[in-house]
Amino acid sequence: MTEETTPVATAQRRTRALYNAAHSKRRPAYVKRTPPCQAGCPSGHDVRGWLAIVRGQELPLHGMSWQEAAFRRMTEANPFPAIMGRVCPALCQTKCNRGSVEEHVGINAIEHYIGDYAIRHKLAFQQPETETGKRIAVVGGGPAGLACAYQLRRRGHRPVVFEANAALGGMLRYGLSRHRCPRDIVDAEVQRILDMGVQVRLNTRVGRDVSVAELEKEFDAVFWGIGAQGSNPLTVPGGDAPNCVNGLTFLRAANTGRLRYLSGRVLVIGGGDTAMDCASVALRLGHVEGVAEAHKPAAVLGQGADQPPVDDENIGAADTWIVYRRPIAMAPAAKEEIDFVIAEGCEIHDGLAPVEVVKDAAGCAVALKVIRTDWSSGKMVVKEGSQFDIPCDLIVVATGQSAVFEGIEEMDGGRGRIDADVLYRVPDRDGHFVGGDAIAPRLLTTAIGHAWRAAENIDRYISNEVLRNRPSVDVIKVEVRKTAPAFEDRSEAEIIEEEGLFLGHFQYLPRDRRERLRIGPGEVLGNYEERLRTLTREQAQAEAARCMCCGTCLECGNCEVFCPQDAVNEVARGEKSLGHFVETDAKSCVGCFMCKDVCPAGYIEMRLPDAR
């Protein structure tokens, strides 16, 4: 056997033949696409960007901690990281490609950590570099109004927030329970916005204390962020009973301390997050026997006198039920919130549709008549003859919200909403813009996203520029070196899905979960301790390391290691920037597609020279 015919030589010849057959004229191009986490975030968070900072891939500016750098990046879009890290349902996580490996990245938990770090270290927002002198009226001091004021102030304008209540925060303060959204956290993140120079007029209701015409005369533009402070009524006979109240009224009374305890059975109607909040608050308020009529919940919720305090030993467990017309598995509330209220002692009675509120001779509700429903067909079918009464003392209706237009009826676009076009303008009202629940009650993060988009167009409007819609994929632009070779930014049009990734690169890494306080029926009374514990520094960084950096370079080195021609080289550390992590020697490259095939993040595309 000659040297040329040995098995090793034969194998080498076959390898070279296969390799030569794979040659092509195509060359690698580095294409940035948007990760699905960011595309799924209604507020437009640069999730991939600030996770890269947390895990150490992107270095902060000299003298800045990585926590502060991540805070600066995430608050480009959302000024409430500590709040949203606690209460956002995290649509980003449901889209995360890491779920195809084992489980999504805990994006919300990392945001929670960064938000709390910023508060502890008193990180402030930067003051605008220039002042425009333009003044914008922001009607409503809730998430949408404050987020819009923040974005406008960053651009050098002078927003003035008009708030009907004695404190800012809107739903954050009055519509969420303290155990989900602590008030000191709300105070800190609101104050950070005010410290930028945002002016506020509290206890000032537009339509009562100041007219729309006066706003138009005094300001260069108006943003409407009035939210949806009214609940949809229970549209069944008897639904106007005085002890049949809407969920937001119930939560507001509890959050302001006017409502201290309940008396009798409470029925919460609905299956959304507001319904779960109402149930969890009812369990914490508890039940007191023999309450005077003037101090019963119905009287207090009807704007009567505040309840006087009672001794703790006189407060017992609240008999709290959730009544929902669908199966609870179909409820829009977060599954975890449903699990929480069940563990705390709330009874879930699903598949029951309200038919009538049964009243006594005085007109007060004494029972809710319901009928059983069947959803096996995908639609509600009532079961004839299955009606029965559920005795109760208070009915809390949490089945939807609408805006309140008292004094500003001219802004009512119908259906309890303010009309808006795609540019967040109010039609036929020059200089008026709108965002948040006033357009359509959805998520807090949706309201914040609306506010950012509206603020951009308010800025263009008062600068006499053409108003523009945002791209179909919401992205934050980052400067790219002009020398970056073969780089293309398609992030405004393309989302990188799991099919474009090399998932075989990623090892199984368990998710670092936040510790969650589990409260049983025996501990729930008066317990407003926060449910969520923040991650440690080490946990936050370890969790961020699970991010697959979808759609841009992960700096894994696969393309460099596996290139048979040694045509791919890592860029020097000081020269790295977006789109300029690695570069290819076009003369050495033979177009074999190896780099593309082993790219975990789907960042490399093979194409003919000059092809776009």
DSSP of 300-353: HHTT-PPPPP--GGG-B---EEEEESS-GGG-SS-HHHHHHHHHHTPEEEESEE
Q: Residue 344 above 60 pLDDT?
A: yes
Average pLDDT over residues 517-535: 93
Give the whole-angstrom CA distance, residue 291 versus residue 293: 6
Do both 237 and 363 map to the same domain?
Answer: yes
494-520, pLDDT tens digit by residue? 999 999 999 999 999 999 999 999 899
Q: What pLDDT sits at residue 489? A: 85
359, 382, 399 — which closes off a domain?
399
Average pLDDT over residues 203-220: 97
Give the whole-angstrom CA distance, residue 448 versus residue 272: 20
pLDDT above 70: percentage of residues in the chain? 93
21 lies in some domain: no
Q: Residue 12 above 80 pLDDT?
A: no
Give the whole-angstrom CA distance, residue 287 versus residue 265: 9
Answer for the pair 534, 116: CB distance below 8 angstroms, yes or no.
yes
Taking residue 532's Cβ as centre, other Cβ atoms within 10 Å add up to: 17
- Provide the number of structural domains found in the chain: 3
**For residue 64, what are the domain limits?**
27-122+479-605
16 lies in some domain: no
Residue 401 one-letter amino acid:
Q
DSSP of 262-315: B-S-EEEE--SHHHHHHHHHHHHH-B-TT--GGGSHHHHHTT-PPPPP--GGG-
Q: Is the dihedral of CA 156, 161, 166, 167 positive or negative?
A: negative
12 lies in some domain: no
Question: CA Rg, the chain, in Å?
Answer: 29
* Token pair 């003037």 in the structure block, residue: 294
pLDDT above 90: percentage of residues in the chain? 75
Average pLDDT over residues 583-603: 90
423 or 59, greater pLDDT: 423
Q: What pLDDT sits at residue 3? A: 58
Residue 480, classed as helix, strand or coil, is coil
356 lies in some domain: yes
Least trusted range by pLDDT, from 171-180, 264-273, 444-453, 567-576: 567-576
Give the N- to C-terminal CA distance of the chain in Å, as an integer.
52
Q: Residue 483 above 70 pLDDT?
A: no
Of 460, 477, 448, the C-alpha closest to 423 is 460
Q: Residue 268 above 80 pLDDT?
A: yes
Q: What pLDDT sits at residue 376? A: 94
Q: What pLDDT sits at residue 362? A: 92
Band the pLDDT of 252: cuts 50, 70, 90: very high
Answer for the pair 207, 406: CB distance below 8 angstroms, yes or no.
yes
Answer for the pair 524, 345: CB distance below 8 angstroms, yes or no.
yes
Give the whole-angstrom CA distance, residue 282 versus residue 267: 10
Residue 296, CB-side half-sphere exposure with 13 Å CA sphere = 19
Distance set, CA 81 to CA 70, 78, 108 (Å)? 11, 7, 9
531 or 82, greater pLDDT: 82
355, 382, 399 — which closes off a domain?
399
Chain CA centroid to CA 227, Å: 16
Q: What pLDDT sits at residue 62? A: 81
Give burial (CB, 10 Å; 0-12/13-18/19+) of 451.
buried
Q: Residue 442 above 70 pLDDT?
A: yes
Average pLDDT over residues 316-330: 96
Do both 87 and 160 map to the same domain?
Answer: no
Q: What pLDDT sits at residue 107? A: 98
Buried b (16+ CB within 10 A) or exposed e, 589-605: bbbbebbbebbbbbbbb
Buried b (16+ CB within 10 A) or exposed e, 490-516: ebeebbbbbebbbeeebeeeeebebee
Do both 323 and 427 map to the same domain?
Answer: no
110-126, pLDDT tens digit by residue? 999 999 999 999 999 99
Q: What pLDDT sits at residue 325? A: 97
Do both 524 and 570 map to the same domain?
Answer: yes
- How big is the chain, counted in residues? 612
Do both 363 and 422 map to the same domain?
Answer: no
Do both 101 and 145 map to the same domain?
Answer: no
How much is the mean pLDDT over the chain? 91
Distance set, CA 576 to CA 479, 482, 486, 546, 573 (Å)? 12, 12, 15, 22, 5
Do both 283 and 358 map to the same domain?
Answer: yes
353, 381, 399 — which closes off a domain?
399
Least trusted range by pLDDT, from 14-23, 321-330, 505-514, 517-526: 14-23
Do both 370 and 440 map to the same domain?
Answer: no
Average pLDDT over residues 124-133: 96
Do both 392 and 269 map to the same domain?
Answer: yes
Chain CA centroid to CA 172, Å: 13
Average pLDDT over residues 105-109: 97
322 lies in some domain: yes
Give the whole-angstrom CA distance, residue 435 versus residue 193: 18
127 lies in some domain: no
Q: What pLDDT sits at residue 482? A: 46
Average pLDDT over residues 525-549: 95
Tokens of 41: 């975030």
Do both 240 and 339 map to the same domain?
Answer: yes
Give the whole-angstrom CA distance, residue 152 versus residue 134: 10
Do both 249 and 145 map to the same domain?
Answer: no
Tokens of 559: 């393309």
As beta bridge partners, residue 569 has 583
5 lies in some domain: no
Phi, psi of 413 (to 5 degrees): -90, 5
Do both 170 and 199 map to the same domain?
Answer: yes
Taking residue 518's Cβ as centre, other Cβ atoms within 10 Å add up to: 11
540 lies in some domain: yes
Read off the CATH number of the domain in which 178 is found: 3.50.50.60
375-419, pLDDT tens digit by residue? 999 999 999 999 999 999 999 999 988 899 999 999 999 888 999
Chain CA centroid to CA 243, Å: 33
Answer for the pair 107, 144: CB distance below 8 angstroms, yes or no.
no
All residues at 6 or more sequence positions from 391 whose CB lies less than 8 Å from its CB, including other chains? 265, 366, 367
Taking residue 46's Cβ as centre, other Cβ atoms within 10 Å add up to: 24
Average pLDDT over residues 328-338: 92
